[in-house]
Amino acid sequence: MKKIIVLDTSAFIAGVEPQTFEECWTTNKVIEELRKSINENIKLRVEIGISSGKLKIVDADDIKIDTNDDLSDADLSVVSLAYKYKDKAIVVTNDYGIQNACKRLGIRYISAGEIGIRKILKWFYVCSGCGKKFDRKVDICDVCGSKIKRKAKAVKGVENA
Ligand SMILES: [Zn+2]
């Protein structure tokens, strides 16, 4: 059976790239939480994941969990989603509260460190006028004098920048 990778907030924060997987899921509440992040890399990870189609947003009705761990709404949404698809879901999380809840509910989980994270985001720079691409940051295009915009792309392999 095909496995479903479910990413929680901590997975994104730990640097897990949705592109690492053929497909992975997270919930609307996690996305909302991550979009509030002040870390641009985390936001980028989310937006690239969504736009590439690898990261799917799926929601399930919240289940009731009897636990002493302090689970946020976003955390609960992840556990609920994984529980609904328990036979094939694997939660990627570094959050002990979520790991405990998974243990109790019989949901499989792994920590972010176990999946061999590779940084595959790379910034590049594009002229807003002529479209010339630059590998490193420049302010003004040497061809047409227009402003340069920073963009991100996903590249395979280890970041060499
Ligand atoms: Zn230019």
Dump pLDDT digits (tens) for 118-136. Answer: 444 567 889 999 999 988 8
Ligand 1 centroid–CA 47 distance in Å is 26
| Residue 105, in any domain of the structure | yes
Task: Please list, in sequence order, all residues whose beta carbon lies within 8 angstroms of the beta carbon of residue 86, skipping any fewer than 6 positions away.
Answer: 105, 106, 107
Tell me how far apart the alpha carbons of residues 161 and 131 are, in angstroms, rounded to a whole number. 22
Domain check: are 36 and 86 in the same one? yes
Domain region containing 78: 4-115
Closest by CA position to 37, among listed 53, 59, 22, 15: 15
Domain check: are 8 and 86 in the same one? yes
Ligand 1 centroid–CA 157 distance in Å is 29
| Residue 98, in any domain of the structure | yes
Ligand 1 centroid–CA 137 distance in Å is 14
For residue range 23-35, list pLDDT tens digits in order.
Answer: 999 999 999 999 9
Ligand 1 centroid–CA 159 distance in Å is 26
Domain check: are 9 and 84 in the same one? yes
Domain check: are 110 and 146 in the same one? no
Domain with residue 18: its CATH number is: 3.40.50.1010
Domain check: are 75 and 150 in the same one? no
pLDDT computed for residue 49 by the predictor: 94
Please give the backbone phi and psi of residue 74, each rounded to the nearest 5 degrees, phi first: -65, -40
Q: What is the mean pLDDT of the chain?
A: 87
pLDDT at 117 over 50: no
Q: How many domains does the chain have?
A: 2
pLDDT at 159 over 50: no
Please give the backbone phi and psi of residue 113, each rounded to the nearest 5 degrees, phi first: -65, -20
Q: What is the pTM of this model?
A: 0.70
Domain check: are 31 and 83 in the same one? yes
| Residue 161, in any domain of the structure | no
Domain check: are 101 and 126 in the same one? no
Residues with CB under 5 A from ligand 1 (ion): 127, 129-130, 132, 141, 143-144, 146
Structure tokens at 126: 């594009």
Domain check: are 103 and 131 in the same one? no
| Residue 101, in any domain of the structure | yes
CB < 8 Å & 24+ apart, contacts of 104-113: 104/65, 104/67, 105/65, 105/79, 107/79, 107/82, 107/83, 109/82, 112/10, 112/11, 112/14, 112/15, 112/16, 113/14
pLDDT at 57 over 90: yes
